[in-house]
Structure 1
């Protein structure tokens, strides 16, 4: 499907005419350029976020918490990982405030810089052997700053796509920023896999793990080059011209949209829970408890990532016809079942079944996640859309992403791996109930 409509087609009437008019409202802005900018930005920022998760599962416990036993060192490593999730709602408040008052574009540039530079500095940070207690403290600080930056990223990228898109194709254009996490995760895992295969274990643990972080310097430059070439979204430009932007958008969200905020966050819980259980925790579990080699698991994670991309694209693009709510409900329903299947597949120790288990979990996550790129923004009005969508998205991350690896690490030694699967299914039930209480939004006007 082409991303730019031309004047060579016959005259359109009815809904098609409205779509064509909406396509040209961006003042000549190429929708292809908007799609690329929203995709590249989220891919880079989620690459930055995910390399930390991979490093936390494989090496950060030894580099920054060497005095702890293996379980507690892993918990400490995952705790620094969770700090960024706690910071993400703060990032939503900060960047959402300016995104709803100043504009989407400038805020996205700032979030990319904050996220990218804090990630790169992790690669330069000496370990515990050099700095002592200051090493983990500075690691926590950089992780906190990273979380603030990512807290402002997703909402702006989703709005960049949705507010430029024709009404009947918002799901299609929102699919591009939603594919960013898939590509970011694939790139992060691929870089670690290549380094793990090319270096011996001592070199990988000494300096090799730092290379993915240092690559962020280059990626930030690429992201800035792309994002500085796009214009403000036409929907927000109208609001700014009419001087309708709210003074404190976050307060307006809590006052006017509390239901949408809380239920939207609840709907996101399983997307986060599935992802960070199936990737970060399962990477630590399979390499540590089951004894699967690091190279094997990184390779299987690359395969599983394809399932995430497929689920995301399929659900996001189908949501324009079938509806956002219906597809999100389908994904949460599948996740209830897959939570019970995941760990029996992992515990076989067979690579093909491990890939199926993780890939199936990520496919379910993609079916939920894909439509959310359009669904969450459509729940809120233009003057509070950046703040509302970002807060809902990132509050779901605190409840689903921050605590999942920590809870799973505690559950498995005491109650066995099956208990982690039940926990995943319980998160899916919570999200299912929340989405059932939300309306369908695909026919809503954004302006």
Structure 2
């Protein structure tokens, strides 16, 4: 650990006993900011997850018809992973400028990029009509989606966290996370509804485009809302005092490697658990077990409704008891539950699958996800907060959830058993648990 990194035990400043007792009152401007950050995140999650829910059902035959069933699914999950490969790049670029120019400007840019890319995916012709250019265009737009999403999250969290009352940082920052399930609910609910109203053939032929095209309307709404929020108070103070880092990302690489690793592992475990439990299971249940896609999408929707309410409640308690206890509990429960969940999937019983998803996402994932926003952001000071937390966050997401469906499909294709998939997750859980246990608790320290 370098001398500069020593403040990690108080990366957010020295202990401030009065911080949790600070005024919890909020202004109308701050409430608008929370809504703008949260609603924007919900819309971006909607854009991201309509791809996640549609790709395993449609894109193997639509964009990769020349491959056998296993190879085409691997190709689909590879395009899914491309979005995650782009996320660290987006996190680095938009994190750098978020620390240099401001959080608000970056949020406007990321939102427009995400919405436009999603709309254009809905306009793409099939492989049969465009040939190889169809999957190339899909991969390109998927990259743009990931690039924008990577720059979105920690700018939104930092903007909210840095304006929040000191004793309620975790609660208000968690609204960015809680809004994610709102977008997932909208995506899964719309796809489940369309799947119920139209035949499978109609859905595969053209109905799948509707959720992507609807992104255009959401972009207009989100852009208007985000244009009417204020910049971070702490960032404006740092800029007025000339404390803005000249090269934020280089400072992170030089002096905050351990903090970045801690953020990476915390995000790696919860995202692996989430995407393996939803996206991978969706493809496996539909393609291998022959279950109706609505079983998984409906289960995912119910699970995210529960998580949407659980996240702010857990985060509020994390302001009182700390971020680490809830992260640790979530990781331990995830490791115990994971093999049980896959046994439920193997039964092919829709109600067991739905119940398993509710427990997995609505309860266990919520325990890890609720304190994660504040936990990651509090590892870094204001001058490099977006750059450092974005890098840790997005590296964790790509190494976790980004490749999880691809790895799961490859492991199942070789062994035909869930055992290798379970072992894969348990190793990630063990590494994350060690990192969180050894990390400092910053919940009650003043931001600096």
Tell me, yes or no, whether TM beats 0.5: yes
User: Are the equivalent residues in 2 in contact too, given 1:328–1:368 (CA < 8 A)?
Assistant: yes
Q: CA deviation at 1:355?
A: 1.5
Change beyond 3 A, Cα 1:440–1:133: same
1 CA distance for matches of 2:88 and 2:145? 12
State the match for 2:259 in structure 1: 260
Change beyond 3 A, Cα 1:82–1:271: same
Q: Are residue 413 (structure 1) and residue 413 (structure 2) matched?
A: yes
1 CA distance for matches of 2:113 and 2:158? 19
Secondary structure of 1:244's counterpart equals coil
Q: Are residue 391 (structure 1) and residue 391 (structure 2) matched?
A: yes
User: What CA deviation, in whole Å up to 9, does each residue of 1:302-350 have, x standing for no partner?
Assistant: 2222343244233212100110011111111111111121100111112
Q: CA deviation at 1:437?
A: 2.1
1 CA distance for matches of 2:56 and 2:411? 17
User: Are the equivalent residues in 1 in contact too, given 2:43–2:183 (CA < 8 A)?
Assistant: yes
Q: CA deviation at 1:16?
A: 7.8
Change beyond 3 A, Cα 1:238–1:337: same
State the match for 1:380 in structure 2: 380
State the match for 1:433 in structure 2: 434
2 CA distance for matches of 1:364 and 1:136? 36
Q: CA deviation at 1:29?
A: 5.5
Secondary structure of 1:413's counterpart equals helix
Q: Are residue 445 (structure 1) and residue 446 (structure 2) matched?
A: yes
Q: CA deviation at 1:64?
A: 0.3
User: Are the equivalent residues in 1 in contact too, given 2:178–2:309 (CA < 8 A)?
Assistant: no
Q: CA deviation at 1:17?
A: 10
User: Are the equivalent residues in 2 in contact too, given 1:23–1:165 (CA < 8 A)?
Assistant: no
Tell me whether 294-303 or 430-439 shows the greater mean CA deviation: 294-303
Tell me whether 156-165 or 309-318 shows the greater mean CA deviation: 309-318
Show structure 2 runs of 5+ residues with no match.
1-16
Q: CA deviation at 1:384?
A: 0.2
State the match for 2:140 in structure 1: 141
Q: CA deviation at 1:233?
A: 1.0
User: Are the equivalent residues in 1 in contact too, given 2:299–2:355 (CA < 8 A)?
Assistant: no
Q: Are residue 90 (structure 1) and residue 89 (structure 2) matched?
A: yes
2 CA distance for matches of 1:165 and 1:314? 16
User: What CA deviation, in whole Å up to 9, does each residue of 1:45-94 have, x standing for no partner?
Assistant: 11111111111111111110001111110100110110011110100111
Q: Are residue 63 (structure 1) and residue 62 (structure 2) matched?
A: yes
Secondary structure of 1:380's counterpart equals coil
Q: CA deviation at 1:30?
A: 2.4
2 CA distance for matches of 1:135 and 1:146? 17
State the match for 2:111 in structure 1: 112
User: Are the equivalent residues in 2 in contact too, given 1:45–1:184 (CA < 8 A)?
Assistant: yes
Q: TM-score, normalised by structure 2?
A: 0.93
Q: CA deviation at 1:430?
A: 1.8
User: Are the equivalent residues in 2 in contact too, given 1:311–1:365 (CA < 8 A)?
Assistant: no
Q: How many residues align?
A: 430
1 CA distance for matches of 2:238 and 2:19? 25
User: Are the equivalent residues in 2 in contact too, given 1:29–1:231 (CA < 8 A)?
Assistant: no
State the match for 1:172 in structure 2: 171
User: Are the equivalent residues in 2 in contact too, given 1:163–1:235 (CA < 8 A)?
Assistant: yes
Counterparts of 1:319-398 in structure 2 under 5 Å? 319-362=318-361, 363-398=363-398
Q: TM-score, normalised by structure 1?
A: 0.93
State the match for 1:281 in structure 2: 280
State the match for 1:239 in structure 2: 238
Counterparts of 1:8-19 in structure 2 under 5 Å? 15=18, 19=22
Q: CA deviation at 1:445?
A: 1.6
Q: CA deviation at 1:163?
A: 0.7
2 CA distance for matches of 1:326 and 1:17? 17
Give the number of the structure with larger relative contact order, counting CA–CA contacts within 8 Å between residues 6 or more apart.
Answer: 2
User: What CA deviation, in whole Å up to 9, does each residue of 1:275-313 have, x standing for no partner?
Assistant: 111111101111111111122332222222234324423
User: Are the equivalent residues in 1 in contact too, given 2:85–2:402 (CA < 8 A)?
Assistant: yes
Tell me whether 294-303 or 279-288 shows the greater mean CA deviation: 294-303
